[in-house]
Amino acid sequence: MLVAQRWDKIIQLVNERGSIRVTELSAICEVTEETIRRDLDRLESEGKLRRSHGGAVSIQSSQAETPYIERETTNAEEKRSIAAEAVKQVNEQDRIILDASSTAWYMAQLLPDMPLTVLTNSIKVASELSTKEKIQVISTGGLLSPRSLSFVGPLAERSLSTYHVDKAFLSCKGLHLQRGLSESNELQALIKQKMIGIADDVYILADYSKFGQQSLAHVASWHEIQHIITDGRTDTDVLARLSEMKVQVHRISMEV
């Protein structure tokens, strides 16, 4: 296979699968992993794909991320109720993470102005908290994802690695009993993996529509999650199974 043909094959595979690892490409193209890494660096410099830890991500799949304005208005009533319950879990002097989900933004709106440190990769969350003088806000920085108004990529991941927090409040595209948590975008998945890894307690904020769904990129297994906050429309059998897996369930009514 000629070099140009190999590059075309790599781009085709990345776009078809959304993401792929160096080891897979090495086996498929029958070249060394070192050669594949050089190929990926070259293709990234040409804007054909985006490098990720251990592989590459399709630029097309990154662009397929749901725009923030659409997420903000979907199941808004449920998300506000979930956010209100999440705020009850926050104490003065806590160090917390809020991700770039619309539910975390609602949570930022509802947080009282009290001594608190909030680490976030969300422009919307940081902006919302900027008027609350007692809350210290730390932004990860990184590569701006315009559709989610959030920072992603290696710089954001390295930033997160320098911190430790008491609680992380996150949402995900899909929640599956057997397969765990997933995201439609690998860059967002990698950020959330890092957030989970630096938190003592992880709270998943998810309305009923997220359950039973599986997206492209794996985020975490249920054994890494301590709490889930959801609304009253979520299947009680599913929540019972999560309780059996030692996940503490906070199920709210819409009157909250």
Q: Is the dihedral of CA 238, 19, 65, 140 positive or negative?
A: positive
Give the confidence band of 120 by pLDDT, cuts at 50, 70, 90: very high
Token output for 98 = 């809020």
Average pLDDT estimate for 228-232: 94
Answer whether residue 11 shows pLDDT above 60.
yes
| Residue-level pLDDT at 256 | 39
Answer whether residue 176 shows pLDDT above 70.
yes
Please give the CATH topology (third level) of the domain spanning 3-63.
Arc Repressor Mutant, subunit A (1.10.10)
Q: Report H helices in 97-244.
A: 102-110, 123-129, 154-161, 186-197, 236-244
Give the confidence band of 254 by pLDDT, cuts at 50, 70, 90: low
Render pLDDT for 73-116 as a digit per residue (tens, 0 to 9).
456 788 999 999 999 999 999 999 999 999 999 999 999 999 99
CATH of 68-252, one of 3.40.50.1360, 3.30.1130.10, 3.20.20.140, 3.40.50.9100: 3.40.50.1360
Closest among 203, 250, 223 to 97, alpha carbons compared: 203
Average pLDDT estimate for 219-223: 96
Average pLDDT estimate for 171-200: 93
Render pLDDT for 192-215 as a digit per residue (tens, 0 to 9).
999 999 999 999 999 988 898 888
**Residues 199, 165: contact at Cβ < 8 Å?**
yes
Give CA torsion, residues 186, 63, 68, 255, to 10 deg: -50
Give the whole-angstrom CA distance, residue 53 versus residue 40. Answer: 12
Give the whole-angstrom CA distance, residue 145 versus residue 157. Answer: 14
| Residue-level pLDDT at 56 | 86
**Residue 67 CB contacts under 8 Å (≥ 6 apart), including other chains:** 147, 148
Cα distances (angstroms) measured from residue 247 to each of 13, 89, 96, 192, 205:
37, 15, 19, 18, 13
Position with higher pLDDT, 74 vs 176? 176
Token output for 10 = 């790599």
Strand, coil or helix: 79: helix
Average pLDDT estimate for 137-151: 91
| Residue-level pLDDT at 75 | 61
Average pLDDT estimate for 120-135: 96
Give the whole-angstrom CA distance, residue 253 versus residue 67. Answer: 28
How many Å is the maximal CA-CA distance in the chain? 64
Render pLDDT for 23-55 as a digit per residue (tens, 0 to 9).
999 999 999 999 999 999 999 888 888 887 788
**What does the domain layout of the chain look like in residue ranges?**
3-63, 68-252
Model pTM? Answer: 0.73
Pairing of strands 180-183, 135-139: unpaired
**Percent of the chain predicted with pLDDT > 90:** 64
